[in-house]
Amino acid sequence: MPVLVVVLVLVNVLGDDDAAGRSGHSGPAQLDGSTAPQREDLPPLPVEVPPVTPEADAACPALMSALPLELAGERSRPVQSDSPFAYAWGDPAVVLVCGVDRPEGWVVGASAIQINGVSWYVDTADPGTTVWTAVDRPVYVEMRLPASVDSAPVTALTTEIAAALERREPDPAG
């Protein structure tokens, strides 16, 4: 009796060209062993915010969707606020609020610092907190940093702010 040999061949239903076109490569996924950043397991941080304006509703979602889960080595944390445009990282917290009021005492050129194309007004009146406000966007963006934190979080977010919010001439009257 003759011996019957069955050869089973598995064929990828998608051709290599189609698979490469959809996934960006044709080989197996490369894993580096790290996990994606996640929110810090901290209680929600109460954040006081001004009322949301139509300008904030129009401009802030683009920035909020671009914010990283990790900033300057600190993971994001939940916030409790009356606005969807507040975000925080770490403990003590670095807090960002998009769509804040014009900073008190600000005049063009006074304490203005340019970082990666974003103009910031810096308020150091409170010894425990440094308040950075981006003043050359369609809405003001405020970052509150504990006095013990340097400007690294502000510098790190200037790219996201510049990409999400179009530059405009600073106007301390507006």
Cβ 80 vs Cβ 69: under 8 Å: no
Mean pLDDT of 98-114: 84
Residue 40 has pLDDT above 90, yes or no: no
Q: 65-83, pLDDT tens digit by residue? A: 999 999 999 999 999 999 9
The DSSP line for the chain is: -PPP--------SS-HHHHHHHHS-SSPPP--SPPPP-----PPEE---PPPPHHHHHHHHHHHTT--SEETTEEEE-EE-SSTTEEEETTTTEEEEEEEPPPTT--TTTTEEEETTEEEEEE--STTEEEEEE-SSSSEEEEEEETTS-SHHHHHHHHHHHHHS------TT-
- Residue with more model confidence, 26 or 174: 174
Question: Domain 45-164 adopts which CATH fold?
Answer: Protein Transport Mog1p; Chain A (3.40.1000)
pLDDT at 38: 58
Instruction: Count CA atoms within 13 Å of residue 24 on its CB side.
Output: 2
Residue 56 has pLDDT above 60, yes or no: yes
**Tokens read off for 27:** 């080989």
Q: Over the chain, what is the mean pLDDT?
A: 82
Residue 132 has pLDDT above 90, yes or no: yes
Mean pLDDT of 110-117: 84
Q: pTM higher than 0.85, yes or no?
A: no
The structural domains of the chain, with segments of one domain joined by +, span 45-164
- Residue with more model confidence, 10 or 55: 55
Mean pLDDT of 114-140: 95
